[in-house]
């Protein structure tokens, strides 16, 4: 008979593992909106590592808020896609895999839950919700890159 130690059941381990709201794939393809970005030559090993670090931090934050699903409206951007994005910074953190936009509802419920203390705890920075309102959808912009001002909730 095998001992549980030498023959661990992968099924059991999966059950224990918490479901993550966000995956690197979600960030790379903007939740499947732009599947071709997974094959982009601009998606370097460094950017993949940046995305993994971002995903880990954002998942920890979302887990703490009890959020199980995140819809990425904009994750990794290629140079051409960033250039085509309205009001995007020329050297956007999205291009380095250091930022992700997550869909929020019309009342910006998610943004309201993300406090400065939570951002400090998970070492993330959030664009001021006043600046992440769209004509049809609102979003939450989270990034791992420290802002120039050092503010956790920043105005771009």
The residues that touch Zn ion, with contacts defined as CB under 5 A, are: 101, 141
Tokens of 155: 């105005």
Question: Among all residues, whose Cβ is closest to Zn ion?
Answer: 141
CA 71 to chain centre: 9
CB of 111 to Zn ion, least distance (A): 12
CB of 125 to Zn ion, least distance (A): 11
User: What's the burial of 21, exposed, middle or buried (CB within 10 Å: 0-12/13-18/19+)?
Assistant: buried
CB of 8 to Zn ion, least distance (A): 40
CB of 1 to Zn ion, least distance (A): 54
Residue 101 or 104 with smaller CB distance to Zn ion? 101
Residue 59 or 139 with smaller CB distance to Zn ion? 139
Do 127 and 147 contact (CB within 8 A), yes or no? no
Best CA proximity match to 81, nearest among 126, 116, 36: 36
Residue 21 or 95 with smaller CB distance to Zn ion? 95
């Amino acid at each position: 008979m095998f001992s549980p130690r030498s023959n661990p059941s992968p099924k059991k381990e999966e059950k224990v593992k918490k479901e993550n709201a966000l995956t690197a794939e979600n960030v790379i393809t903007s939740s499947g909106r732009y599947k071709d970005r997974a094959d982009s030559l601009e998606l370097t090993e460094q950017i993949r590592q940046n995305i993994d670090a971002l995903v880990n931090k954002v998942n920890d934050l979302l887990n703490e808020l009890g959020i199980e699903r995140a819809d990425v409206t904009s994750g990794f951007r290629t140079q051409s896609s960033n250039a085509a994005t309205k009001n995007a910074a020329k050297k956007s953190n999205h291009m380095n895999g250091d930022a992700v936009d997550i869909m929020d509802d019309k009342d910006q419920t998610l943004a309201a839950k993300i406090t400065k203390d939570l951002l400090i705890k998970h070492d993330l920075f959030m664009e001021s919700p006043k600046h992440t309102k769209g004509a049809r959808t609102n979003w939450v912009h989270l990034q791992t890159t420290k802002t120039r001002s050092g503010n956790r909730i920043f105005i771009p």
